[in-house]
Amino acid sequence: MNNIIPFSRNMKIQSTKPNIQIEFFSDEDLARIFKFIQDKIATDKRNADYHRRYLLLCKILLRTGARIDEALQLRPMDINLDLNTITLVTLKKRKNSTRTIPLHPELKEQIMTYFLNFNISPRSQDLIFPMKRQAVDLYMKKMQYQLNIRIHAHKFRHTFGVKAILDHVPLSVLQEWLGHSSIFTTSIYTQITGMDTSMFMNQIT
């Protein structure tokens, strides 16, 4: 997912089920969100580490498509910096299951910097993000209020799915990355509405 897709604002996916829309961030939205957090790190010196945690959390959500509960369960030992993989534990199912996905190069660099800054051992079994789901929701609501962008953790997951499809990731691969039990669930990301699709037609030879 290296290509930058110039998403327009307020783009949504319409599912086959009536009245269900899935929101995802535009590139402009993402730029504003990350700038907001980085500005907080620079100006709110007393709580800089607090904001750094949320910066990495948002990067992981965007670059892995992880559910928020999966991201909050991450431990350093779940990230293999040698094999460039990250293992997520799915709590949604009756029995906890894991899936291992490739580690994006940019995310790897950010994780390594984070570990170095916080003096975290890559073999540690402690949680990377010692925070509750409610705290994450509150932080994102504050960003939403100040940026006037609808922000919630699952929206990063949807953005990951859309970007993957637009970067031609096979549906079966995306299904594996997202941990969907059915490929029909994953196929919702192919149903992009609210954008000019003529560019795709122009690419056909």
Under the banding of pLDDT at 50, 70 and 90, the label for residue 166 is confident
Q: Structure pTM? A: 0.85
- Fill in the amino acid letter for 111: I
pLDDT score recorded for residue 187: 87
Under the banding of pLDDT at 50, 70 and 90, the label for residue 4 is very low
The answer to whether residue 199 scores a pLDDT higher than 60 is no
Most confident by average pLDDT, 49-53, 95-99, 168-172 = 49-53
The answer to whether residue 142 scores a pLDDT higher than 70 is yes
Query: Which comes out higher in pLDDT, residue 11 or 88?
Result: 88
Average per-residue pLDDT in the chain?
87
Q: What domains sit in the chain, N to C, each tagged with a CATH number? A: 26-202 (1.10.443.10)
The set of residues, in sequence order, having a beta carbon less than 8 Å from that of 44 and lying 6+ positions away, is 51
pLDDT score recorded for residue 197: 52
Q: What is the pLDDT of residues 50-83, one digit of tens each?
A: 999 999 999 999 999 999 999 999 999 999 999 9
